[in-house]
Amino acid sequence: MTWWMTDETHDPVRTSWVDGANGHADFPIQNLPFGVFSPPAGDARIGVAIGDSILDLSALASQLPASEALRHRRLNALFALPTEQRRLLRHAISGMLSDRAIADRVIPHLHAAADCTLHLPARIGDYTDFYVGIHHANNIGRQFRPDNPLLPNYKYVPIGYHGRASSIQPSGVPVRRPLGQRKPPEADAPIFGPSTRLDYELELGVWIGSGNALGTPIPIGQAADHVAGFCLLNDWSARDVQAWEYQPLGPFLAKNFQSTISPWVVTAEAMAPFRLAQPPRPQGDPDPLLYLQDEADRQHGALALTLEVSILTAAMRVRGDAPVRLSQGPASNMYWTVQQIVAHHASNGCNLNPGDLLGTGTISAADRSGYGSLMELSAGGKEPVALPGGESRTFVADGDEIILRASASAAGFTSIGFGECRAMILPAQ
Amino acid sequence: MTWWMTDETHDPVRTSWVDGANGHADFPIQNLPFGVFSPPAGDARIGVAIGDSILDLSALASQLPASEALRHRRLNALFALPTEQRRLLRHAISGMLSDRAIADRVIPHLHAAADCTLHLPARIGDYTDFYVGIHHANNIGRQFRPDNPLLPNYKYVPIGYHGRASSIQPSGVPVRRPLGQRKPPEADAPIFGPSTRLDYELELGVWIGSGNALGTPIPIGQAADHVAGFCLLNDWSARDVQAWEYQPLGPFLAKNFQSTISPWVVTAEAMAPFRLAQPPRPQGDPDPLLYLQDEADRQHGALALTLEVSILTAAMRVRGDAPVRLSQGPASNMYWTVQQIVAHHASNGCNLNPGDLLGTGTISAADRSGYGSLMELSAGGKEPVALPGGESRTFVADGDEIILRASASAAGFTSIGFGECRAMILPAQ
């Protein structure tokens, strides 16, 4: 088995006996994402999402492979397992949830997801954010450096930087509008106060599985084996703080006040049917350097994922309106694949650990229907985005909720989704 | 008690009954730094350095305050304690090591430091590196941006960025020369291979003690209470990789392959006598914004520390030579104090945790006698630094050992030191 090959757990005719699982937009039996949840009045434990329910894997650990790792309160030990052991676990869970003969034994360990609290799935040792969305890099680059939007290194180096692990929170935890330094163009000196240009960024998150020893790079051909799964990531960004602070060492307080992730880890195994050949590089672009080239990555390295952003303002909430979509686009707008960013990250010997999180950077489409931030949609705040009911936004307002979603689909397979990555903005303190 | 006030543990007439402690350059009884060590054939545990010995605090935990925190294998729980509890512990240890009447009971728990292995003192959740050495910022800025060495934000924003926690290693662990992309000026495209411009950076490390909740800034007046102690930090840097990769998001693979710290945590309490008024800002520089202003910080915020770098090349080692000093300078060349970088870091609500590590950035003096990197000493590789025996260096060579040291001194007090921060360069794989 290799990372892009499918098996009977992906079979679209496989169904589950769990109510509401079959046809579920996010969590049919073909998905089986891992997470950490607390049932009502219970402690945090490892579970798997199935339809609108959560199966308590800790309670069933003795009947499953990798039982020791299932008894932890974080997924790090599960992530650290060899790919083959995670695959055996997936098969066992898929069998358990499809075999009606054993349903009576399993049902006591199912919880209604709506009654449970979801936590960060892993202890995040280090968090790294990349910049692989080439349309985003172009759009933002044009605003910060009109003459020079895409720097000369972009098509050679999968640009990345270290972010803050401590302030990553699961979907649902509100975000306090940060204070910070900003320098209005007309002012002689900066002022300190609440950010007035608070933005979201639509990103894919990548959970590292098994790590590498310090000093030992991960060859591109082995990079996929170090990926445990995926999530959504909202890299909240204070654009006014960012513009003033980011030179010469990169973004810092503009982004480290909070990041929001979707709590379910959609496994690399679940994503096997949703692998695509990399789109060809535009005419005239250089080939990747050899340490970033791999035939399997070229054939199967991209992801058949559609990403979208919605907003629910306070006024919409009062009216009882549904969230409104701001943009939608494909993850194939990544200039570098997940395998390439993993191999690049470890190419100097930097050690990755189970539970490390990588962000792809904002994934925008070439046109505004798929722009992944308000900075792009509002052209840097110059063109307000119209919303229903007469509202408009250049940046996010207090009380706004931003909701990221993702779904994977491929001909002949059952679509799966990531669940929500959602948070509301609270006023500055 | 406040952070700059001294007490009887700092009294220069206090002596220890431990052989070799009195007059020890680094670890007299006035220092008492914490660390994590393994005695021969023993497990990792918490200890304190005294002269050339280590006192096993885990074995004596039941006789000391904070006994629960002393039984861990890392200092995080000790760092998390309120300052007042850490102070009580210091008093108890100082008493134990000065009171000859109880020496017989304590001696069984002393180990010769030379026989022990020293480990990372804490689990580092997040590592942040600042850029407070204004002479370094000027020197490096001039090489990367000749027209624009110090950017307009420098005198308002304590510039910082997130670094890699996983690859921080204690003194003594060798450093593998990293591979990476670099673009020679004459080449059309970058090449991938061993760095040819590997450098050290002389920095002070700051260990975070008690943390702050997400969304709750740390006021500058309380910042000192969140600092547990200090160490030396060598922020190894591949200058060729850095020059090519660092725009627009900052250094990444140029620095995350390894960083080296001294293993002893010189506590904030031990540093109380070595506090100075901040040097006045140069004429014409702006005042710090209000959230970075504090009278106690102005009066006592700087550190009376002398920092130095030495080198021992392979040829010198063969000849049996001692290391040669490359530079020496005062820590007062920091444009921002430790309290200011802590308050700035949390000013947007970013949560700091016990065991987080902050680096100050390279601390250079105004002239080359105190330049904290080879990039500065060799003027970007153009002026080789002469060494004894006819050798010279523009950057570090395989087999070189770089040794950082620091000592604190003040009139009327016993000087204390940080011990070594040392590592050897291994050839690229």
CATH number at residue A180: 3.90.850.10
Write down the mean pLDDT value for chain B: 97
Binding-face residues of B in 248-267 toward A, CB within 8 A: 248-253, 256-258
| pLDDT of amino acid A146 | 85
> What's the average model confidence in pLDDT over B409-425?
98
Tell me what percent of chain A is helix, strand and coil, each rounded to the nearest 5. Answer: 25, 25, 50
Give chain A's domain count: 2
Q: How close is the nearest chain B Cα to the Cα of A310, in Å? A: 24
Contact criterion met (CB below 8 Å) for B372 and B316: no
Partner residue opposite A349 with nearest CB, options B159, B178, B214: B178
- Same domain assignment for residues A379 and A230: yes
DSSP symbol at B350: P
Q: Retrieve residue A52's tokens.
A: 């609108």
Contact criterion met (CB below 8 Å) for B292 and B378: no
Q: How close is the nearest chain A Cα to the Cα of B112, in Å? A: 29
- Same domain assignment for residues B225 and B327: yes
Partner residue opposite A349 with nearest CB, options B176, B183, B353: B176
Dihedral sign, Cα of residue B71, residue B76, residue B79, residue B85: negative
CA A199 to the chain's CA centroid:
17
- Domain end residue (candidates: B100, B118, B136): B118
Q: What is the DSSP string of B326-347?
A: EEEEEGGGBSS-HHHHHHHHHT
Rounded to whole angstroms, the Cα distance separating B360 from B381 reads: 24
Beta strand spans in B273-415 (E)? 275-276, 302-303, 305-312, 324-330, 357-359, 385-386, 392-393, 401-408
Instruction: Examine residue B97 and state whether it is found in any structural domain, yes or no.
Output: yes
DSSP symbol at A247: T
Task: Please state the φ and ψ torsions of residue B208, each to the nearest 5 degrees.
Answer: -75, 135
- Domain end residue (candidates: B84, B118, B152): B118
- Domain end residue (candidates: B118, B141, B172): B118
H-assigned helices in A46-127:
67-70, 76-80, 83-98, 103-106
CATH code: domain of residue B39 = 2.30.30.230
- Same domain assignment for residues B82 and B230: no
- Same domain assignment for residues A145 and A216: yes
- Same domain assignment for residues A188 and A246: yes
Closest by alpha carbon to A402, among A198, A118, A193?
A198
Any chain A CB within 8 A of the CB of B372? no
The SS3 call for residue B135 is helix
Choose the mutation target among B124, B148, B151, B162 for the interface with A, i.e. most A CBs under 10 Å: B162
Rounded to whole angstroms, the Cα distance separating B349 from B344 reads: 10
Rounded to whole angstroms, the Cα distance separating A32 from A57 reads: 12
> What's the average model confidence in pLDDT over B286-306?
98
Q: Retrieve residue A398's tokens.
A: 């207090």
pLDDT in tens, A324-338: 999 999 999 999 999
Q: Residue A121: what residue type?
A: P
Instruction: Examine residue A167 and state whether it is found in any structural domain, yes or no.
Output: yes
- Same domain assignment for residues B271 and B319: yes
Instruction: Examine residue B2 and state whether it is found in any structural domain, yes or no.
Output: no
Query: Which residues in chain A have Cβ-Cβ distances shorter than 8 Å to B259?
Result: none
Rounded to whole angstroms, the Cα distance separating B327 from B403 reads: 11
- Same domain assignment for residues A96 and A139: no
Angle at A31 between CA A26 and CA A37, to 5 degrees: 75
- Same domain assignment for residues B180 and B329: yes
- B242 labeled binding residue: yes
Contact criterion met (CB below 8 Å) for A319 and A397: no
CA A248 to the chain's CA centroid:
27
CA A15 to the chain's CA centroid:
27
Contact criterion met (CB below 8 Å) for A301 and A272: no
The SS3 call for residue A91 is helix
Partner residue opposite A179 with nearest CB, options B214, B248, B347: B347
Query: Which residues in chain B have Cβ-Cβ distances shorter than 8 Å to A126?
Result: 164-166
Catalytic residue positions of B, numbered:
136
- Same domain assignment for residues B64 and B46: yes
pLDDT in tens, A146-186: 888 899 999 999 999 999 999 999 999 999 999 999 999 99
DSSP symbol at A287: P
- Same domain assignment for residues B275 and B419: yes
**Cβ–Cβ below 8 Å for A238 and B144:** no
Residues spanned by the domain of B19: 8-118
Beta strands at A259-261 and A168-170: parallel, antiparallel or unpaired: parallel
Q: How confident is the model at residue B145 (pLDDT cuts 50, 70, 90)?
A: confident
ipTM, interface predicted TM-score of the complex: 0.97
Residues whose CB is less than 8 angstroms from the CB of residue A62 and which lie 6 or more positions away in sequence, other chains included: none
**Cβ–Cβ below 8 Å for A347 and B253:** yes
* pLDDT value at B353 more than 90: yes
On the question of a cis peptide bond just before residue A248, with omega within 30 degrees of 0, the verdict is yes
Q: How confident is the model at residue B146 (pLDDT cuts 50, 70, 90)?
A: confident
Instruction: Examine residue A1 and state whether it is found in any structural domain, yes or no.
Output: no
**Cβ–Cβ below 8 Å for A176 and B245:** no
In the Cβ-directed half-sphere of B232, how many Cα atoms lie within 13 Å? 30
The b/e string for B176-197 (b: 16+ C-beta within 10 A; e otherwise) is bbbbbbbbeeeeeebeeebbbb
Instruction: Examine residue B1 and state whether it is found in any structural domain, yes or no.
Output: no
- Same domain assignment for residues A30 and A154: no
The SS3 call for residue A314 is helix
Rounded to whole angstroms, the Cα distance separating A89 from B236 reads: 42
Give whole-number Cα distances, A359 to A335, A347, B42, in Å: 14, 18, 40
Beta strand spans in B168-304 (E)? 168-170, 175-176, 179-182, 191-194, 198-199, 202-208, 227-234, 237-238, 259-261, 266-267, 275-276, 302-303
- Same domain assignment for residues A259 and A346: yes
Task: Note down pLDDT in tens along chain A; length 429 residues.
Answer: 689 999 999 999 999 999 999 999 999 999 999 999 999 989 999 999 999 999 999 999 999 999 999 999 999 999 999 999 999 999 999 999 999 999 999 999 999 999 999 999 999 999 999 999 999 999 998 987 888 889 999 999 999 999 999 999 999 999 999 999 999 999 999 999 999 999 999 999 999 999 999 999 999 999 999 999 999 999 999 999 999 999 999 999 999 999 999 999 999 999 999 999 999 999 999 999 999 999 999 999 999 999 999 999 999 999 999 999 999 999 999 999 999 999 999 999 999 999 999 999 999 999 999 999 999 999 999 999 999 999 999 999 999 999 999 999 999 999 999 999 999 999 999
* pLDDT value at B148 more than 90: no
Residues whose CB is less than 8 angstroms from the CB of residue B16 and which lie 6 or more positions away in sequence, other chains included: B22, B28, B29, B50, B51, B97, B98
Instruction: Examine residue B45 and state whether it is found in any structural domain, yes or no.
Output: yes
Any chain A CB within 8 A of the CB of B328? no
> If you search the block for the tokens 């003040």, which residue do you land on?
B410
